[in-house]
Structure 1
Amino acid sequence: MSATAAEMSWDEIKALLAELAIQSKETDRKFQETDRKFQETEAQMRETDRKMREVFERFDKLSRRFGDLGNRLGEFVEAMVEPALVDLFRARGLDVSEVHRRVTSRRAGEAIEVALLVVDGDTAVAVECKSRLTREEVERHVERMNKFKRLLPKYADMRVHGAVAGIVVDEDAIEAAQAAGLWVLAPSGETVALKNDPGFAPRVW
């Protein structure tokens, strides 16, 4: 049973006060240590935040650079493909003579952009150009073709075909394009050539 203050001697009281003082100092030291750790943590968080901002800024710059590069590559493919389009499609029996770049339309919340549109008379060919042509790009162009006449009604009465072109063309992209009824264009020497089988029958949208 602990002694009351009246029962304690002066020496015992001094010893108790000394012990309390030591405990108080230890508590104060722990508080200071905790505060120091909080400050260190806050400083580390600020440093982490600064580094994250730097990373995001660098990523944003790289994204813009690669986006610009992608746009330039797309323009390069268009420039490579465009001069050969009329002759290539005429050789396959399509009566075309005009090539229009970047045909766009926005209607009822939908949008469409066609890289190259080859037209004349009652025939049109919508050509999508990519630096690398993949199966996924082929599928996206089929989706584009499915809304072509709805978003570009001036061509509603024409026979519309689809075509895809690339500097590098995956084999499964050629298979997917032919299965979907799309023409496929790829580099051949200093120009481009149609890669479809001789008996290929293009889809008419």
Structure 2
Amino acid sequence: MATTADDVWRLLGELAVAQKETERRFQETEQLLKEQSQEAERRFQEAERRFQETEQVLKDQARKTDRQIQQVNQQIGNLGNRLGEFVEWQVRPAAVRLFRERGIAVRQLASDVTIEAGEDSLEIDLLVVNGDEAVAVEVKSKLSHTDVNEHLERIAKFRRLSPQHRSMKLMGAVAGMVVPPEVARYAYHQGLFVLAQSGDSMVILNDDKFKPKAW
């Protein structure tokens, strides 16, 4: 069938209408994608904001926890210092009596003796002196093998850093409110006097056969 001019114009009109519909749908799709993109961006920004808020809360809690830990450590340290002072004041008056009973006629007892020689230094909790003999005493709330070893090193160092005591017979002792039996035996065999809490008083655990080491 022959195509007339009217048919051509009708087809062109239909194409124009179809093109406009396609453009409309394209614009609608583009707008929908734009709105979805904006919504996704909004949600992302909201998630980022919440993440930053959560991160800040966690940082604040971490700082608060650190402060609390520091406060607890400080309180424990203060308690340990007070307990150490209490044990030392328990040992101090007993040391005079106990060493006199062992034949060391105490004439002088000094607490927290610090000796410095150049850049080197040491501290002795209690120093018992009777003229020609001296006993360096280390005091702990609970005595350990490490405490004994450190005190043995301290005594040797004391002899080297304290010329005024070199002519004396230097001995050592360890004392504690709690002294485990194995630690007491170890200190005994190292030649140290061992003082421990027994009931309401301090006692020397070393038997009569004990011979103190002299440095």
TM-score surpassing 0.5? yes
Is the 8 Å Cα contact of residues 105 and 111 (structure 1) preserved in structure 2? yes
Is the 8 Å Cα contact of residues 134 and 172 (structure 1) preserved in structure 2? no
Matched, 1:52 2:52: no
- Structure 1 residue 203 displacement after superposition: 1.8
Mapped partners of 1:166, 1:172: distance in 2? 14
Is the 8 Å Cα contact of residues 180 and 203 (structure 1) preserved in structure 2? yes
Q: TM-score when scaled to structure 2? A: 0.83
Task: Give the match for residue 15 of structure 2.
Answer: none
- Structure 1 residue 142 displacement after superposition: 2.0
Relative distance call for 1:196 and 1:39 in structure 2 (3 A) is same
Instruction: Indicate the larger mover: 16-25 or 161-170.
Output: 16-25
Q: Which runs of 5 or more residues in structure 2 are unaligned?
A: 1-17
Task: Give the match for residue 99 of structure 1.
Answer: 109
Counterparts of 1:156-171 in structure 2, within 5 Å, are: 156-171=166-181
Matched, 1:175 2:165: no
- Structure 1 residue 108 displacement after superposition: 4.1
Relative distance call for 1:179 and 1:22 in structure 2 (3 A) is farther
Q: TM-score when scaled to structure 1? A: 0.86
Relative distance call for 1:131 and 1:19 in structure 2 (3 A) is same
Is the 8 Å Cα contact of residues 104 and 130 (structure 2) preserved in structure 1? no
Is the 8 Å Cα contact of residues 148 and 187 (structure 2) preserved in structure 1? yes
- Structure 1 residue 51 displacement after superposition: 1.3
Counterparts of 1:63-74 in structure 2, within 5 Å, are: 63-74=73-84
Task: Give the match for residue 153 of structure 1.
Answer: 163
Task: Give the match for residue 5 of structure 1.
Answer: none
Q: Quick check: which one's helix share is greater?
A: 2
Task: Give the match for residue 44 of structure 2.
Answer: 34
Mapped partners of 1:41, 1:203: distance in 2? 67
Mapped partners of 1:70, 1:81: distance in 2? 16
Mapped partners of 1:35, 1:67: distance in 2? 47
Mapped partners of 2:117, 2:35: distance in 1? 76
Mapped partners of 1:192, 1:95: distance in 2? 18
Q: SS state of the match for residue 147, structure 1?
A: helix
- Structure 1 residue 116 displacement after superposition: 0.7
Task: Specify the code of the residue in structure 2 equivalent to 1:38.
Answer: E
Q: Which has the larger radius of gyration?
A: 2
- Structure 1 residue 134 displacement after superposition: 2.0
Aligned-pair identity in percent equals 35
Task: Give the match for residue 127 of structure 2.
Answer: 117
Q: Which runs of 5 or more residues in structure 1 are unaligned?
A: 1-7
For residue 193 of structure 1, the aligned residue among 182, 185, 203 is 203
Is the 8 Å Cα contact of residues 99 and 106 (structure 2) preserved in structure 1? yes
Is the 8 Å Cα contact of residues 135 and 170 (structure 1) preserved in structure 2? no
Instruction: Indicate the larger mover: 178-187 or 23-32.
Output: 23-32
Q: How many residues align?
A: 198
